[in-house]
Structure 1
Amino acid sequence: MDALRDALPRTRGWFTAIGVLIAVFLLAPLIAVLPLAFTSSKYLVFPAVGFSWQWFDTVLTDPAWQGSIMNSARVAVTAAVIAMVTGTSAALAVRRISGGRRIVRTVLLAPMVMPQLVLALGLYLTYKNLVGGTSLTVLTLGQATLAMPLVFVTVSAGLAAVDPNLSRAAQSLGYRWPSVVWRIELPLVGRSVISGAILAFAVCFDEAVLAFFLVPPSQQTLPVKIWTSASENASPAIAAASALVICLAVTLLAVVALVGSRPNKQEAS
């Protein structure tokens, strides 16, 4: 990296300027939405008028908003647990595959590149024909499918830093593979598993495409509630709900960074 900087002294300023412009472009929607969450106006008007906490109070006390937040939380937690178990298991299994590892890895990563609209339509048509409709359970399975590759990639990266000779040494001492996984590998990649689960929860909590197709009208999640509210009355409560989602996402990313920066007990010892 230092050699690249020395080789391009004249273009360094241009790269910096382009990076700043990209950051401004990405952050501009947040800069526009967050002030509207504190407006005293009854409508979404930019720039914000006055200052008030009333829209946060509306989101946190209104039964419709409360129900959507609880639905999103339940679906995200369940989907994150499923993604954590399946993604971690897949990473451990791929580590032991000697042939065809690239093919298996490509198949496991396919949900990351698959258009969410295609997955949503497939799940909707499948479960509509099988059980006559959709439910939060169908949404949970769909979101777990989307989140599993994140856990798989995160845990695989953690396993790549683990010396395989540790597992071989444990096996030479008489440990079978379940004990090797439970006592050797999982403790060494525990931070990666936790980080992957947190990322999976963050993705599932504010996922909108699958939720729009698979959520019953009486069980809306928070993204669907924001969308329907925006199309009906454009209340500043939408901005308040969006601000809460942004705060949650930033908090989760900070937790992931904190977990990743802490020294492992096995490494410290």
Structure 2
Amino acid sequence: MTTLTAQRPAAVGERRQSHVIADAVTMMRRNLLHMIRYPGLSMFTILGPVVILLLFVYVFGGTLGAGLPGVDPAGGRQAYIAYVMPGILLITIAGSAGGTATTVSMDMTEGITARFRSMAISRASVLAGHVLGNTIQALIAVALVLAVGLAIGFRPTAGPLEWLGIAGLLTFISFAITWIGVAMGMQAKSVETASNWPLLLTFLPFLGSGFVPTESMPVWLQWFAQYQPFTPFIETIRALLLGTELGWNGTLALVWCVVITVAGYAWSMTIYERKSVR
């Protein structure tokens, strides 16, 4: 009798856990179907970074590449493709947060989220479905932008282990940034506001080492450029892709991913619980 009593709470806990996972997968499928039925947001997430890549490489690349340390001016554009590609990949991830915030805000303003609250599904799965679905969308966009980079001359030196590390880090970054996008979408009072808030994230690669070395910036800007989260993200991806010096950037990138994930999750759940009480 005692054994059965001890096993019963554990069995209940296992059922609840499987219930949450099943609900999260269902909500993820919904978001992926939304991507297929309404491809405009996904196309914008891809086309924006591609336009920036082509602009900086073919318009500014010759001059900016020639100014990189140790680069032959004659090969400036080719060197700049290699230098700028990690920053473009991070802009793609940051831009995907705009689509996340927009879809979350649409669900909030149209009453879909309120309907989900009244159904017999896990509350956590509603937000988890957004996060998982939009993380997958962000990784698809990153892969397509990377393919464009390879087509115009980007030639990474990464081996199989480096590519595995790149895939893992980009997934972690996408997951973290998506939580911020979810929180922004829930916080916004309209869909238009929700689509604008994540633009702040897309500026961070420009204010880091994504397009020029931070040492070339004014002294008053260098501190922010060196210690904001996107600089270690970019430098870690650059080191894995091209074999540049990694230093502490890998550790800082992982720490920032954890911090952003926890902050985004806490922000999202606080808003969700507050609005659930109303």
TM-score for both structures, normalised by structure 1? 0.36
Structure with bigger RCO (C-alpha 8 Å, 6+ apart): 1
TM-score for both structures, normalised by structure 2? 0.35
- State which structure, 1 or 2, has the greater radius of gyration over its C-alpha atoms: 1
